[in-house]
Structure 1
Amino acid sequence: MHNPGIRDRLTIQRQIRIGRLFLDIAVAEPRLVRHRTGLIARPTCNQDTSVPPGDVTDAPACPAIDRPAGMHQGPERQTAAVLLIPRHLTCLVYSISLNKLLNRANVSEPAIGAHLSCSWRGFERAARGNGQSRIPRRTIMYSLRTLAFASAVAASALFSTADAHAEAKTITLCWAAWDPANALVELSKDFTAKTGTSVKFELVPWPNFADRMLNELNSKGQLCDLMIGDSQWIGGSAENGHYVKLNDFFDKEGIKMSDFLPATVEGYATWPKGTENYWALPAMGDAVGWTYRKDWFARPAIQAEFKAKYGRDLAPPKTLTELKQTAEFFQGREIDGKKIYGASIYTERGSEGITMGVTNALYPFGFQYQDPAKPYAMEGFVNSPEAVAGLEFYKSLFKCCTPPGASNSYMQEGLDAFKSGQVAMQMNFFAFFPGLYKDPNVGGDKIGFFVNPGEKTVGSQLGGQGISVVSYSQNRNEALAYIKWFADPEIQKRWWALGGYSCHKAVLGDPNFPNTAPFAADFLTAMGQVRDFWQEPSYAQLLQAMQRRVHDYVVADQGTAKQALDLLIQDWTKVFKEDDKI
């Protein structure tokens, strides 16, 4: 391309002056101008029913037209709406704007793969219809060429902008800032390569994740096209219209919930519970598990001392009682000249930490949220003797066997304690285990994994999330395309390989799956015994109440376990009454 010379500009200006004489004709008779372009691979020539036959030169029957050299060669763009610009605006705006466009775009007439076909007879009829004298055909055609050139320049700028906009099409996925999100960033490059749609990630640290994203949803913000939200949000997000219901989309695209692990469908996608109403695709399977210092457990002197004291081999604990014994054994012990402690557990109060921790003691002891036969009837279940025993156990584990100052610990604090060699065992989500296994200081042969131990029964706190389309998104089609792409079994296999936790049976049901990672078998076991916190629309109020009551008892030494659970029932009863649930 080149800049038009001075003579070219003078010629153009003279032609524009002539062409402007007929702009009112174009406005009066918009059907006289037809815009046909070779810049788009799928023109809408014969689909334009607004132009009756005979008024303009007939267009071809929409053959595929190759893009000129240098044009974007990516996936087809749905730009038919751009082609249907009103004909009079095409001539009017493009002609008047020519001088400005020439200053913005270094283009010349031969470089433009577009032309404007106008009917000179139609212009002449319109002119005479407006009371004007007969205009020589030569003058009309001369001006029409001017309009064609002006329109071509503008079309070049227009379609360059449209094509650039198409190339820059971006959707935003909102999630927490942690290792699995990094894996998804890498995986999503495949989606961009296949569709041309870029994926931007809005990642928020876990302590701030719920507040930030729930505020975004409640304010009907348009930041997020896709949301990987916590499982407990599903009820409120469904009832308040934050998420798009996906049943029809799943049916249309052949996405079957039966292809995913049942616990993840119920936990991440379904509301109301027990129905087949889906608001998310299971995305990130997760549960609370444990890591331990395998190298310390394997030392002969430590093994001999442990067996002499407890009468059993030092190994990953099978019960919570064994867990506490092991933690007590390591508490305050000196290893390699450094004082170490028994275990890191969740005690954080500000967000959800202590609730996500204490439930791993409550569930195995027999705690239940409600009467299975009578929803929201909590008396004798939340505060049952089994529940009281579970809460007392958790406090005893905190008091006996955690590092000093561990009164407000959650995921990151646990990771720090384990990586720094402070603790023999760590409670944390399976999501962090791939990264820990790769850690140069405590990973590899030094680390081991085990599922949350049982006691009277088994139970692990469910983690993980589903991926939902936010109903306020301006890019719903692209967001749904991402869901379809992510549901593909081959993509799910890559998701697991990169460090994400697939929920798809094509991955988890593979006979070789337990051998794919040192924590894979324990993950399968954990996902078979998971339970979750309330997923009600008033989840936030319910969670705040439990955070307060449990933290006050376990960490702040206020009251008894029974009193804490009695007060919790009062708090929850008030919430459910306000929601007209009881």
Structure 2
Amino acid sequence: MENSTFRIAVRKFGPFETAMQKLWDAFCLKNDISIAVEMVPMELHDLYEQTISEEGLKKGDWDIAHINTDWIFDATHAKAVEDLRPYIAQKAPQDFPQGWHNSLLHLQEIDGGIHGLPFHDGPECLIYRKDLFENPIEKENFKKEYGYELAPPKTWLEFEQMATFFNRPDENLYGCVFANYPDGHNMVFDFCLHLWTRGGSLINNENRVNVNTQAAIDTLDYYRYIVKKTDAVHPGSIDFGSVEAGMAFANAEAAMTINWFGFASMSEVIAESKVKGKVDVTTLPFAEGGKTASLNVYWLYTIGTGSKYKQLAYDFLRFATTAESDKLLTNEGGIGCRKSTWKDPEINATIPYYHKLESLHENAHTLPQIAVWPDIAILIDQMVLTALKTEIPSADLLKNTQIEIEKIL
């Protein structure tokens, strides 16, 4: 289609949508640009379909798209996203690359090219209500019941006991909230996190994906048990994606959640949050013999290879990734990617745990960078969903999933 409008595919999330509009308006004002813009917010599945599967980036339907690092390998190999290296060589973004933590630069570096600039970040962490955990009466009651001090859980057993302790449906407060909507992401991430905190791995010695292991059986057994624990878990979890789970937490409906860092900071800045000033974050619990882990998946600004406005798109990317723009995104409720934002005194005054981003990155794992990963993720997602909905033994589910994975590999 002939395109005289500049089109941006946006990950659907209130803070992203408002930040993108503000950044575009400021960019146009500063550079005296008057081109019609259309920003289309989309859910994960639609965003992937429109930009990559249906070749929207390649055909020029989209000039810029939010692409996450799960998809960037795929997008690069489909020749859907522009290599930014030549543009960066001519005019680099402000203090590039030293303005960013190394963990936000390498996933988009594929085959010698740079296929996007960091947009939004925030590794997975344990988000909890510090007002509940620090309340003297709660502490006293917990110690009476469980025989040890109430503090953010270090192990999965402690997590489970605390979730049960804080579960008070009559007060519309639940112990924890999960994101179990099967979108090929949330439950896959949960599965990986539980696997890693049990000392397991997705990759075997031959560097191939293998989920048919004892650690994976233990993981799936525990996950299907904890998610279905009705006296500890928010009943909406089964229908929640990460955004809905984050909103439920911001609405004071849960004592704890395992989610992206961004949902902790969102609860400090969005108008409708009922937990401002009552939130903190820490590392994830682990199983006996395991250690804490986090997951680093981040969002990128990318330029479509079919765009007619590549230079304009790159100029906007440079503008949208300045320290000032990064801070604006954070104040809207997204997560800035620059070190300067993480350390910013004003940001840390509003979101007192913002500086912890750097240490969370130190424990962050990444998902396998292989072209077929999105297909494998769907298989893992279906496997976890089947585990939640049936009584089929975990060992059988993992064995059958591995057979399907082998077919793809």
Deviation at 1:476, TM superposition (A): 0.9
Distance 1:564 1:344, change over 3 A: same
2:162 aligned residue: 326
1-side partners of 2:20 and 2:251: how far apart?
A: 27
1-side partners of 2:48 and 2:124: how far apart?
A: 18
Aligned residue among 266, 272, 281 for 1:449: 281
346-355 or 544-553: which moved more? 346-355
Q: CA RMSD in A?
A: 2.8
Deviation at 1:565, TM superposition (A): 2.4
1:481 pairs with 2:321: no
Distance 1:505 1:327, change over 3 A: same
Q: Which has the larger radius of gyration?
A: 1
Describe the SS at the equivalent of 1:407: helix
TM-score by length of 2: 0.86
Distance 1:522 1:310, change over 3 A: farther
2:63 aligned residue: 225
215-224 or 356-365: which moved more? 215-224
Distance 1:509 1:437, change over 3 A: closer
1:396 pairs with 2:234: no
2:295 aligned residue: 461
1-side partners of 2:236 and 2:116: how far apart?
A: 39
Question: Does the CA contact (< 8 Å) of 1:172 and 1:224 recur in 2?
Answer: yes
Q: Note the residue ranges of structure 1 that are not aligned, 5 or more in a row.
A: 1-168, 577-582
Counterparts of residues 192-207 of structure 1 (less than 5 Å):
192-197=28-33, 198=35, 199-206=37-44
2-side partners of 1:445 and 1:529: how far apart?
A: 26
233-242 or 508-517: which moved more? 508-517
Distance 1:567 1:506, change over 3 A: same
Aligned residue among 544, 563, 567 for 2:396: 563
1-side partners of 2:279 and 2:49: how far apart?
A: 34
Deviation at 1:193, TM superposition (A): 1.6
Paired AA for residue 550 in structure 1 = V
2-side partners of 1:387 and 1:521: how far apart?
A: 33
TM-score by length of 1: 0.62
Residue-pair matches, total: 397
2:110 aligned residue: 271
Q: Deviations over 1:113-146 (max 9, x none)?
A: xxxxxxxxxxxxxxxxxxxxxxxxxxxxxxxxxx
2-side partners of 1:349 and 1:174: how far apart?
A: 22
Question: Does the CA contact (< 8 Å) of 2:122 and 2:261 recur in 1?
Answer: yes
Describe the SS at the equivalent of 1:445: coil
Counterparts of residues 291-302 of structure 1 (less than 5 Å):
291-302=127-138
Distance 1:512 1:171, change over 3 A: same
1:307 aligned residue: 143
1:171 pairs with 2:6: yes
Distance 1:283 1:398, change over 3 A: same
Paired AA for residue 123 in structure 2 = A
Q: Note the residue ranges of structure 2 that are not aligned, 5 or more in a row.
A: none
Q: Deviations over 1:415-456 (max 9, x none)?
A: 353345432222332223333224555222333333433441
Counterparts of residues 38-49 of structure 1 (less than 5 Å):
none
2-side partners of 1:421 and 1:219: how far apart?
A: 40
Paired AA for residue 221 in structure 2 = E
Deviation at 1:510, TM superposition (A): 6.2
Deviation at 1:201, TM superposition (A): 1.7
Distance 1:423 1:488, change over 3 A: closer
Paired AA for residue 549 in structure 1 = M
Q: Deviations over 1:278-325 (max 9, x none)?
A: 111122112223333333334333221111233332222233332222
What percentage of aligned pairs have identical amino acids? Answer: 19
Describe the SS at the equivalent of 2:389: coil
2-side partners of 1:227 and 1:419: how far apart?
A: 28
Paired AA for residue 164 in structure 2 = E
